[in-house]
Chains A and B, each alone.
Chain A
Amino acid sequence: MANFCSISILNEFALVLFLEEKKNKLIVLDTQEIELEQLEQYLNNKKNFYISLEQKFEYSENIEVPTAIASSSNIGNYLLYKIKKFNPKIDILFNFKNIQKQNNKENTLFNVEAVDETEFLKALNFVEDYSQIRSTTTNKFALLALANRCIQVESFICVHTYAKTILIIAIENKELIFSRLTEVHSQTAETIQMDITENITQTISYISNQFREINFKTVVLSGSIALDDVIPQHITMFSSVNIAILYPNTFIKNLTNEEPQEYILSLGSALVQKENRFIPKVIKGIQQFNLLTNSILLLSLLLLIVMGYFSFNEFENYEALLQKNQMLKHKYITAYKHTKMLSSKELDKYAYTIDMTNKYLDKTPIDILITLKPLIFLDKPSVFQYKKEQGKISFTMEFEKKFTRLVDLYKFEKKFNKTIETISKNISLEKSISVDYKNLLYKANIKTKESTKHHKRERRQ
């Protein structure tokens, strides 16, 4: 967490702690006790303020609200109306909380704590930049926060004195149930001691009478009274209560011996819970504005990063494409340079030759002749005829062979048939064969039909 300033204003003085939070401990970086007039200058260039103030007007009351009023804003308006009824001229800044145990069916009891907003804001004049304010409250809530942090007793009274000022609060279950801020007007040290003792014992007595159901056995002292030897003895004597000292040494670092007592309220103002803070509307507006701008800034930054990522991707793709483009261009130019482009005149000449060759050499008897070659080699045909009729090519072969031995005729016949069978795989044949076993004479008439597609394919290969 960033460093922050915890400030308590008492009379015309400001007690400032410059703190840093680390591992749930508050490390004191600097302490300052300065006059209120110099505070503005001291806080210049400092950030994150937690402030507790003394207020002349502090309104604390329990008010009943009809249960029919349910929503929080309506309850707030009702309570404001009630407060304004008794304080019509005061600009009210207030917090309220439901006191559960005192509910009845018709009404709900609310504890209201209010201050004069105008005066409260005026007291914050020493802050130049309101956006740096994180928390503002009154001194009694600062004391409550620190007491709650340090004291683990169910109910107790906490007394804090500073110079002639006495702040007394009564706490039950960590809730503030009573507070009183008084000032003694004595002049000598002895009479001041006596007046303070009297004031405290009277208040303790008053609290005990007022809250009879609560047994306040412990009085916790802080501030100048905690360093005094006489007053605590007198309090014990008059009030028969246990005395304890508020000494926040477990979570504070860099404050030694008696130093913490001086800065009790400053330490407390850093620990005040949200519900006990008084944030004037102006500051709340600034805080909301800051939250909004921070959110928008974060969102815009996120958008920027996302768009940056996509742009980078697109750029990479674009660059890869450009490289591919250069490569393809180079390939194209090389191919272009190495390709001889024939003129249309030359191409016409080639096309003409190809066309004419196709026209006049497309149907040639050579292919069929090659296919028939095994048959011709087997026996010379007595008649071998080639014809071309209406573009169709045909061959006619007549074979006539005389044998002296039957075995020769038989072998020739087998061989001839086998050859014809092989040839028939490539071209269609019409055949007429007669074998005269009596006279050992073999006659065959073979005619080819139109050349097949197979022939055309062969030729092209």
Chain B
Amino acid sequence: MIKITLIIINIVLTLFLYFLNQWFSTEEIKINNINQRYIKNTRKLQEIKKIDRWLVKKVKSKLLHTPNSIEVADLRLIEFFDRFATNYNFKVKKFIYHDKYAHYLSINYTIPRNNYIKLVDFMRLHYQDGYKVIDNFVLNKTTLQGELILVQPFLTKTKKQEHINEIVPQ
């Protein structure tokens, strides 16, 4: 009787251990999955951290402050033109025009070649809250002539989500 009892106890314990094994295996799979997710998410966070640092270091200072209205956008272009018109002999080539993403002002410029400082200043010139795109220039014996385009980004809210992948208007 004792032996039979022992056999029953052994079998019950064996079965218990078998199911315990199964449970451990299932739990291990679950924990492994969770661990994989932790690893993946931690990597993502690290990537995000890197991107954040890069954004702060490289992009934050250049964040665009888009104007509130069309008038403000256009006025910024005009103000820039007026500020440097005398220095670089600005002439309007094409007055303010726009597409889905920005307002543009095409300007012709002429700078004497012998005025090196002015030439360097012109090259270094920045358009705040937008872009100065030198479209072309010709450096001949006396002057530097060419065309530049001022770009004033200006978007309506619905357009903001679209990815911009168009070439610069000519």
Contact pick for B38, options A308, A325, A384, CB 8 Å: A325
Q: Cβ of A332 and Cβ of B161 under 8 Å apart?
A: no
Contact pick for B155, options A293, A304, A352, CB 8 Å: A352
Nearest residue (CB) in A for B131 is: A360
A272-298 interface mask toward B, CB cutoff 8 Å, 1 = contact, 0 = none?
A: 000000000000000000100110110
Contact pick for B139, options A290, A336, A359, A383, CB 8 Å: A383
Q: Cβ of A293 and Cβ of B133 under 8 Å apart?
A: no
List of B residues within 8 angstroms of A308 by Cβ: 17
List of A residues within 8 angstroms of B102 by Cβ: 356
Q: Cβ of A353 and Cβ of B59 under 8 Å apart?
A: yes
Q: Cβ of B163 and Cβ of A355 under 8 Å apart?
A: yes
CB distance from B167 to the nearest CB of A (A): 5
CB of A233 within 8 A of chain B? no
Q: Cβ of B7 and Cβ of A361 under 8 Å apart?
A: no
Nearest residue (CB) in B for A359 is: B164
Near B by CB (< 8 A), chain A positions 337-374 give 338-342, 348-350, 352-361, 363, 365
CB distance from A313 to the nearest CB of B (A): 9
Contact pick for A360, options B7, B41, B151, CB 8 Å: B151
Known: A325-B31, A331-B38, A356-B131. Contact between A386 and B136, CB under 8 A? yes
Q: Cβ of A336 and Cβ of B45 under 8 Å apart?
A: yes
Q: Cβ of B164 and Cβ of A300 under 8 Å apart?
A: no
CB of B146 within 8 A of chain A? yes
In angstroms, Cα B7 to Cα A165, docked, is: 49
Contact pick for A388, options B14, B34, B135, B141, CB 8 Å: B135
Nearest residue (CB) in B for A361 is: B131
Contact pick for A349, options B25, B41, B63, B101, CB 8 Å: B63
Contact pick for B35, options A307, A321, A339, CB 8 Å: A321
Contact pick for B42, options A304, A335, A342, CB 8 Å: A335
List of B residues within 8 angstroms of A358 by Cβ: 164
CB of A206 within 8 A of chain B? no
In angstroms, Cα B51 to Cα A339, docked, is: 10
Nearest residue (CB) in B for A338 is: B49
CB distance from B113 to the nearest CB of A (A): 9
Contact pick for B21, options A314, A338, A353, A357, CB 8 Å: A314
CB of A328 within 8 A of chain B? yes
CB of A385 within 8 A of chain B? yes
Contact pick for B161, options A348, A382, A390, CB 8 Å: A348
B19-38 interface mask toward A, CB cutoff 8 Å, 1 = contact, 0 = none?
A: 01100110110011011001
Q: Cβ of A304 and Cβ of B14 under 8 Å apart?
A: yes
Contact pick for B28, options A296, A303, A318, A338, CB 8 Å: A318
Q: Cβ of B35 and Cβ of A388 under 8 Å apart?
A: no
CB of B48 within 8 A of chain A? yes
Q: Cβ of A386 and Cβ of B20 under 8 Å apart?
A: no
CB of B117 within 8 A of chain A? no
In angstroms, Cα B6 to Cα A317, docked, is: 30
Q: Cβ of A356 and Cβ of B153 under 8 Å apart?
A: yes
Near A by CB (< 8 A), chain B positions 103-136 give 131, 133-136
Contact pick for A300, options B14, B55, B155, CB 8 Å: B14
CB of B72 within 8 A of chain A? no
CB of B11 within 8 A of chain A? yes
CB of B13 within 8 A of chain A? yes
CB of B52 within 8 A of chain A? yes
CB of B75 within 8 A of chain A? no
In angstroms, Cα B135 to Cα A352, docked, is: 23
CB of A381 within 8 A of chain B? yes
Q: Cβ of A304 and Cβ of B45 under 8 Å apart?
A: no
List of A residues within 8 angstroms of B34 by Cβ: 325
List of A residues within 8 angstroms of B155 by Cβ: 352
CB distance from B170 to the nearest CB of A (A): 7
In angstroms, Cα B21 to Cα A315, docked, is: 8
CB of B70 within 8 A of chain A? no
CB distance from B54 to the nearest CB of A (A): 10
CB of B10 within 8 A of chain A? yes
In angstroms, Cα B3 to Cα A290, docked, is: 9
List of B residues within 8 angstroms of A301 by Cβ: 10
List of B residues within 8 angstroms of A388 by Cβ: 134-136, 170
Contact pick for B6, options A297, A303, A314, A353, CB 8 Å: A297
CB of A107 within 8 A of chain B? no
In angstroms, Cα B34 to Cα A301, docked, is: 37
Q: Cβ of A340 and Cβ of B52 under 8 Å apart?
A: yes
Q: Cβ of B49 and Cβ of A293 under 8 Å apart?
A: no
CB of A387 within 8 A of chain B? yes
In angstroms, Cα B25 to Cα A353, docked, is: 50
Q: Cβ of A328 and Cβ of B42 under 8 Å apart?
A: yes
In angstroms, Cα B108 to Cα A317, docked, is: 75
CB of A118 within 8 A of chain B? no
Nearest residue (CB) in A for B138 is: A385
Nearest residue (CB) in B for A384 is: B139
Nearest residue (CB) in B for A310 is: B21
List of A residues within 8 angstroms of B52 by Cβ: 339-340, 342
CB of A456 within 8 A of chain B? no
Q: Tell me the B residues contacting A by CB distance below 8 Å.
A: 3-4, 6-7, 10-11, 13-14, 17-18, 20-21, 24-25, 27-28, 31-32, 34-35, 38-39, 41-42, 45-46, 48-49, 52, 55, 59, 62-64, 66, 101-102, 131, 133-141, 146, 151, 153, 155, 160-161, 163-168, 170
Q: List 26 A-B contacts (CB under 8 A).
A: A293-B3, A303-B11, A304-B13, A304-B14, A307-B18, A308-B17, A310-B17, A314-B28, A317-B24, A318-B24, A318-B28, A321-B31, A328-B35, A328-B42, A332-B41, A335-B42, A335-B45, A338-B49, A353-B63, A355-B165, A356-B151, A357-B62, A361-B133, A365-B134, A384-B140, A385-B138
Closest CB pairs A-B (n = 3): A300-B10, A384-B139, A307-B17
